[in-house]
Amino acid sequence: MSSITAISSFALIAALAAAGPQAQAQSAPPEATEQAAGDTDAAQATDDDPQERSLSSKAAEAAGKAAEKASEITGAVVDKVKAAVDKARADTGITDAETDQPSSAVAPSNAEIQRQTQPATNAGSAKITKPDDAAGAVATPVSAMAQGAPTKREWSRLKGVSEAVAADYKANLESLFVHFHENPELSFRESKTANRLASELKALGYEVTQGVGQTGLVAVMRNGDGPTVMMRADMDGLPVEEKSGLAYASKAMQEDIDGEMKPVMHACGHDVHITSLVGAARQMATRKNDWKGTLVLIGQPAEERISGAKAMLDDGLYSRFPKPDYAIAFHVAADLPAGKIEVNDSLVSSSSDSVNITVRGIGAHGAGPHKGVDPILVASHIVVALQSIVSRSINPLEPGVITVGSFHGGFKHNIISDKVDLQLTVRSNNPKVRDQLIAGIERTAEGIARGLGVPENLLPIVEYGFESTPTTINDTPTAKLVRSAFVDKFGADGLVNPPAEGMGAEDFAYFVQPETGVRGVYFAVGGTPEDELANAAGHHSGLFKVWPEPAVKVGTEAMTTAAMKLFATPPASLGASGQ
């Protein structure tokens, strides 16, 4: 009930109470009024009969008592309504002067709320509990509306972001997460994911363009003069068979860009990212009175192939659409406590380069190896020698990783093949070290091949640059600003700062390279309860899982909080970029 309706109702009942017993009797419960009317009619019909006069008096007395009872009931109702009105006015901050004014809050229409709470095609509206391995991890599907989706009036009261996000999670985001988790798609194959994301954002009033960088999506909301802030979420899943045991586990299969059918799983939490993007988009749309500027939302393809961000930029992201002053994004982390946030001032993630090495040889019979050049032997020596690059060729105080993730050669027991294919990932935190590692791989592959008799015309072929990303480095002044906003919102104990334990990479780096002039902040949101951290499966594992409610809710609140702070901060006020 709105405050205006409540106050009007109170005035009506108060006037009724002041009108006296007759009016009160009219407002009495049906059984009381019927009894009083019946007794009065009986008294009038027997007025000339002395014996009946006594009965008439009794009837009148009964009618009077009924009226008194009605008065008591009406008075009690008045008191309750008045108390409810006072509480509603206190909760919403409405004063006497404001009760004649309509609410200025921007809220979704009832039709929009109803649309968004429809069960997903394959997911239903499963209510997620703690995602244990047991099949009972998800309760019986129930309608999101039955869970208490807010009405338009109720939504306008949810002034606090936490309260609004909690209500949105119940009404919309929970079932949306299940839908995305059950229906993952591979890199540059995220068409259905992009379509669903586009429909969610269009319904909230965003201008949406699809097909940017193949399957990427851009949504824009213009809201007057001010900074331009970009929120990015990656959409793709991984070619991994899910073994999490979750009731909403993926069973999807899809043809990859290499033409092979593969299982697909959100084994890195991108379902959390896109669900939170929708949540943050709704919060920003309902709070347009609280910010000015232009909001750009990105549904990015192919992060897992570290190719999607570059593809979107090459397709005119910063020329066809408003170029951001700020760019923000987050990654859910299975190794961080659920609901906690990590924000680094500078380096966030390492550079990454995928490298292919084709090792060639001369085929022969397995019983006569001297008549050929065995590429499997050559490739094996290369794999071992590559590890000496990190230990002997770069500064020992600089981190670096060369991992051979794939070795394929030969097809029969007694045949020496003529080719072996190696696939590597190379990581560093320093552009100079990155160049040293790549040069070392080329030098080592050629040197080993020559040493084992490979002819000059068959030396190994080393390829790189097709899947690569530079280091992701936060703009220091902007990162500090966002962290301060998070401390204000979540408290100092809501943030964590664990030591780095790996060299993960992230192609968000392309959006915020120094030459773009875009100030970036990339942060992490925990996805595993603290008492489960020791047993948490790693990212890219078939056993991977996160606890969606704290991850989605905190991710949504954090993105909204950061965006609000950045809209209120002219970029020039932060001075020179801190990269």
User: Hey, which residues are catalytic here?
Assistant: 236, 303
Name 332's bridge partners: 525
**Could you identify the residue written with the tokens 């009404």?**
171
Over its C-alpha atoms, the chain yields an Rg (Å, rounded) of: 34
Q: Report how far residue 457's alpha carbon sits from residue 463's, in angstroms, rounded to the nearest whole number.
A: 17
Residues 141, 146, 150, 154: is their CA dihedral positive or negative? negative
504-518 burial code (b ≥16 CB/10 A, e <16): bbbbbbbbbbeeeeb
Residues contacting residue 133 through CB under 8 Å, at least 6 positions apart: 244, 245, 246
Name 265's bridge partners: 238
Residues contacting residue 550 through CB under 8 Å, at least 6 positions apart: 338, 339, 526, 527
Residues 426, 432, 437, 442: is their CA dihedral positive or negative? positive
**Could you identify the residue written with the tokens 């964590």?**
496
In 3-state terms the chain splits into helix, strand, coil percentages (rounded to 5) of: 45, 20, 35
- In 3D space, the residue among 228, 224, 236, 131 whose CA is nearest the CA of residue 191 turns out to be 236
Residues 459, 465, 467, 469: is their CA dihedral positive or negative? positive
Q: How many helices (H) and strands (E) does the chain have?
A: 16, 17
Asked if 172 contacts 155 with a C-beta cutoff of 8 angstroms, the reply is no
CA dihedral 197, 200, 203, 206 (to 10 degrees): -50
H or E segment and range at residue 343: strand 341-343
Instruction: Please give the distance of CA 430 from its chain centroid, rounded to a whole number.
Output: 31
Pairing, β 351-360 against β 461-469:
antiparallel
**Residue 305 token pair:** 């192939």
Reduced to 3 states (helix: H, G, I; strand: E, B; else coil), residue 228 is: strand
**Residue 486 token pair:** 């998070």
Q: In whole angstroms, how far apart are CA 308 and each of 189, 300, 510?
A: 11, 6, 10
